[in-house]
Structure 1
Amino acid sequence: MARNRLKPLFRALAAPAYRQYTIGNATSLIGMWVQRLAIGWMAWKLTGSGAWLGVLAMCELLPTVILSPAVGALADRLDRRRLIIATQSLMLVQSLTAFTLVATGLITIGWLVALGLVLGVVTAFGQPARLALVPELVPRDDLPAAVALNASLFNLARFLGPAIAAPLLALEDGTSAFAAYPLTLILFLVQLIRLRVPVAEDAGSGRARAATRPGLIADFRDGLAFALRHGGIGPLLALLCFASLGARALPEILPALADGHFGAGAGGYAAFTAAIGIGALAAGLWMAIGAGERRLVQVAVVATALGAAGTALSALAPTEPVAIALLTLVGFAITSNGISIQTLLQLHAPPDRRGRVIGLYLVVMRGVPALGALAIGSAADLVGITLPLLAAALIAAAGAAYAWTRLPRIEAGLAGSAASGRSEG
């Protein structure tokens, strides 16, 4: 029975293009998490301010809010593999700059903010293409397993990154931690250059039609209108908003909880981050072996509620070990929520609108946590971290409760409009 449940995962990995892409992607993700941990810790050591952590999160993630919708339209027009190669090359320049500034002792909070802003802009251009490319690499029936596996690898990197970064940050000024990302990006670029994408007929024709439309603004409006009028996609994006204000904002301000609240230092910060990664990895593997279209909406709603509960309890945790255990629940919840919603969007968005729908998904998934982190971090500087986290958790819980009452309508919207949505594309 267990073997049967693993079949979709094995089928996805049997696709040569998907397997090649996944290997390179997983490598770069580990380096990304090492750099992300290093930047967060460096910012905390330079300022000791939760507000600056929120500002840094906003500078990295706000470009996604502004650019992703239009860039999603771009991903529907251009060759997605080439777009990914271009953005990863720019990330290589950014990561080499960060390494050089730290190695020479010239790094300041201003430089960290600037580097975060550059990374945010480049990520905004690349991420819709990275996510929208996956359905072109695997058969539709294997897409839920492929999306879940990608999320599992992301969260395995979330676990391995801190494990690698913690000892590197303890060495001298942490320069070694900033060397990991450039190396892994080079490996990913090699895989991308060698990648051959098996373009499906519907994806190819959809992109050809997209290229004949008037412009990116018209494309964006069309994608937004499609999402808003879709009986399932619109409500799912709204649910993601509530989840992002709560549990998804917590990782962005983790130094304030780990060191500012518990006094745990760099090792504690790495342990807190790894705890979220362990929970997220467990969720990704669970979704990969058992994810199908059925019950994904229920998973998204319940996971939002679990994330809210985990966030609130983490804020009230009496000791560091208790907080670490609760953060594992938070990691499990936010990943289950993200995988289920992303899978449903990938399945129900037509090929020539998929990039724009994913762009809207990224606006919410990356932008709203940044807003939450800025609000929580700023409030934490005034009243401590506990009350702001409790308020964020309450907002997320309210969203989950409302979505649960609308569950039949959301499921009916997905079932009833999927075919018409694809015919429009």
Structure 2
Amino acid sequence: MALNTEEKIEPEKPASSLSYSYAWRALRHRNFRLFFGGQSISLIGTWMTRIATSWLVYRLTKSSLLLGTVSFAGQIPTFLLAPFAGVLVDRMDRRKVLVWTQVLAMVQSLVLAALTLTHRINIHEVLALSVFQGMINAFDMPGRQSFLVQMVEDRGDLSNAIAINSSMVNLARLVGPSLAGLVIAATNEGWCFLIDGVSYIAVIASLLLMQVKVSAVKRATASMVDQLKEGWEYVSNFVPIRTILLLFALISLMGMPFVVLMPVFAAQVLHGGAHTLGFLMGALGVGALISALSLVVRKSVRGLTKMIPIAAAIFGIGLVSFGLSHSQWLSLLLMLVTGFGMMQGMTASNTIIQTLVPEDKRGRVMSYYTVAFVGMAPFGSLLAGALGHAIGSQRTVMLSGVACILGAIWFWSRLKVIRKEMRPIYEQLGIVQPKIPVVVEEEASTS
């Protein structure tokens, strides 16, 4: 019986899949290939804008506190709006949602470019445009995560698509910051914003060229309040997702905001300039890319659960060590370690959640994932900026690392309960084989 069950569970692969190695199997889907191509170009521009914005704020103000404030302004709308956005994502055509978010993001980047290139930019305008981008992200992130299922069609390829998507993000993280450092050193931040604005054309075109099944779009009959409540009850009562999101929220609050202080490390601790900031972020991207590629070659989600606390501990140790370093080469090496731990935990968490969640709640669950990932970061950015101003950037980053290590220990203590609740779903999906009760075996042998 076990052999027959395995044969039914294994999805049939089309002939076109033979042209791809198993590690890149999600690229056999046309829609995902289009997304991969368009997004690869757009994400480089996005990372250029992130680096350029932080350097622009630091150049205008020379303030750690304002670096944290701008990051807070850009992320707090996501915290407030993401749960409502998740309901709308479950109600609407996810591709249309993404097209609109990309168009609005392009407008935001082009306005930022125009103001900077004409030397009219000030900190108040940066704050306002950051808030606008945060509002866009509140809809874009849950929409993007939920749309992955429609792009790959075969759910068996979903984990591979998530890993490839993470690899794409981190390749852009590697190229974008380094390119931004060179552009800023040669000209100014405005050209980074302009390149980003133009790069959105690629992802918008890829979305419009996709052929998405109409049946994948479902209209809801319940009210938004009821759907919001249903999503919250599912997330808060299901132990595996609740525990993953709690750890993710802690890391986003205490760990992720170290990026806000990178301009201070580049300029004051390592005595460099914009190119040093680019190298640090590039090293972070290399570590994250290595992590993402290690997940691409995985054949199953089995074993990923224990990687979450291990990754959080690696991330925390990397931060503590980075806070102690005064050497540029050592700091670059530690950014590799930090990037690896950060992305390993992020991608493993995303993959497990996407595997466990039912399709009718995907948008809402991924909106809470967005709250944990992006929504907690504004409070962390504000906290990091304030602590950096009060006790110094190095001590702040070290404190952040200790918090991540403590979170990893707590998650490890919950692994047994998490696995127990996950197992029935994994059995249903054919990821693990059902356990045969001992009583049944004894009865069989007696008969």
TM-score range normalised by the length of the shorter chain: over 0.9
Q: Verify the 8 A CA contact 1:92 1:185 in the aligned structure 2.
A: yes
Q: Write the deviation string for residues 239-278 of structure 1: whole angstroms up to 9, x where unpaired.
A: 1122223432222321122223222211111111101100
Letter in 1 for 2:151: L
Distance across 2 between alignment mates of 1:147 and 1:172: 36
Q: Could you tell me which residue of structure 1 aligns to residue 205 of structure 2? A: 190
Q: What does residue range 317-336 of structure 1 map to in structure 2 within 5 Å?
A: 317-336=325-344
Q: Write the deviation string for residues 342-392 of structure 1: whole angstroms up to 9, x where unpaired.
A: 011111111110011100001011122332221122111122112222222
Q: Could you tell me which residue of structure 2 aligns to residue 382 of structure 1? A: 390
Q: Which of 278, 281, 284 lines up with 2:286 in the alignment?
A: 278
Whether 1:144 and 2:151 are equivalent positions in the alignment is: no
Q: Verify the 8 A CA contact 2:112 2:190 in the aligned structure 1.
A: no
Q: Which of 307, 310, 313 lines up with 1:302 in the alignment?
A: 310
Q: Could you tell me which residue of structure 2 aligns to residue 364 of structure 1? A: 372
Q: Could you tell me which residue of structure 2 aligns to residue 52 of structure 1? A: 66
Q: Write the deviation string for residues 312-344 of structure 1: whole angstroms up to 9, x where unpaired.
A: 110011312111110111111111101000011
Q: Could you tell me which residue of structure 2 aligns to residue 98 of structure 1? A: 112
Q: Could you tell me which residue of structure 1 aligns to residue 195 of structure 2? A: 180
TM-score, normalization: structure 1?
Answer: 0.93
Q: Could you tell me which residue of structure 2 aligns to residue 264 of structure 1? A: 272
Q: What does residue range 14-413 of structure 1 map to in structure 2 within 5 Å?
A: 14-138=28-152, 139-198=154-213, 203-204=216-217, 207-208=218-219, 211-215=220-224, 217-290=225-298, 292-413=300-421
Letter in 1 for 2:303: R
Q: Please state whether the residue corresponding to 2:376 is helix, strand or coil.
A: helix
Q: Verify the 8 A CA contact 1:8 1:142 in the aligned structure 2.
A: no
The structural deviation recorded for 1:417 is 5.4
Q: Structure 1 residues 420 and 78, CA, compared in 2 at 3 Å: closer, same or farther?
A: farther
Whether 1:415 and 2:429 are equivalent positions in the alignment is: no
Q: Write the deviation string for residues 387-418 of structure 1: whole angstroms up to 9, x where unpaired.
A: 22222212111111011111111112222356
The structural deviation recorded for 1:291 is 5.5
Q: Write the deviation string for residues 126-181 of structure 1: whole angstroms up to 9, x where unpaired.
A: 11111100011211111111001101110110111012111210123333222111
Letter in 1 for 2:223: P
Letter in 2 for 1:169: I
Distance across 1 between alignment mates of 2:299 and 2:239: 22
Letter in 1 for 2:118: T
Q: Structure 1 residues 291 and 115, CA, compared in 2 at 3 Å: closer, same or farther?
A: farther
Extract unaligned runs of 5+ from structure 2: 1-17, 430-447
Q: Please state whether the residue corresponding to 1:106 is helix, strand or coil.
A: coil
Q: Verify the 8 A CA contact 1:233 1:414 in the aligned structure 2.
A: no
Q: Please state whether the residue corresponding to 1:232 is helix, strand or coil.
A: helix
Q: Structure 1 residues 86 and 281, CA, compared in 2 at 3 Å: closer, same or farther?
A: same
Distance across 1 between alignment mates of 2:25 and 2:233: 35
Letter in 2 for 1:347: T
Q: Could you tell me which residue of structure 1 aligns to residue 436 of structure 2? A: none
The structural deviation recorded for 1:47 is 0.7
Distance across 1 between alignment mates of 2:383 and 2:158: 36
Distance across 2 between alignment mates of 1:213 and 1:66: 22
Q: Write the deviation string for residues 168-221 of structure 1: whole angstroms up to 9, x where unpaired.
A: 10123333222111111012111111111246x6x54xx33xx11122x22111
What is the total number of aligned residue pairs between the two structures?
410
Q: Structure 1 residues 77 and 418, CA, compared in 2 at 3 Å: closer, same or farther?
A: farther
TM-score, normalization: structure 2?
Answer: 0.88
Letter in 1 for 2:206: Q
Distance across 2 between alignment mates of 1:252 and 1:284: 23
Letter in 2 for 1:284: A
Instruction: Give aligned-pair identity as a percent.
Output: 29
Extract unaligned runs of 5+ from structure 1: none
Q: Verify the 8 A CA contact 2:312 2:341 in the aligned structure 1.
A: yes
Mean CA deviation greater in 304-313 or 183-192: 183-192
Q: Structure 1 residues 291 and 67, CA, compared in 2 at 3 Å: closer, same or farther?
A: farther
The structural deviation recorded for 1:81 is 0.2
The structural deviation recorded for 1:420 is 9.2
Q: Could you tell me which residue of structure 1 aligns to residue 4 of structure 2? A: none
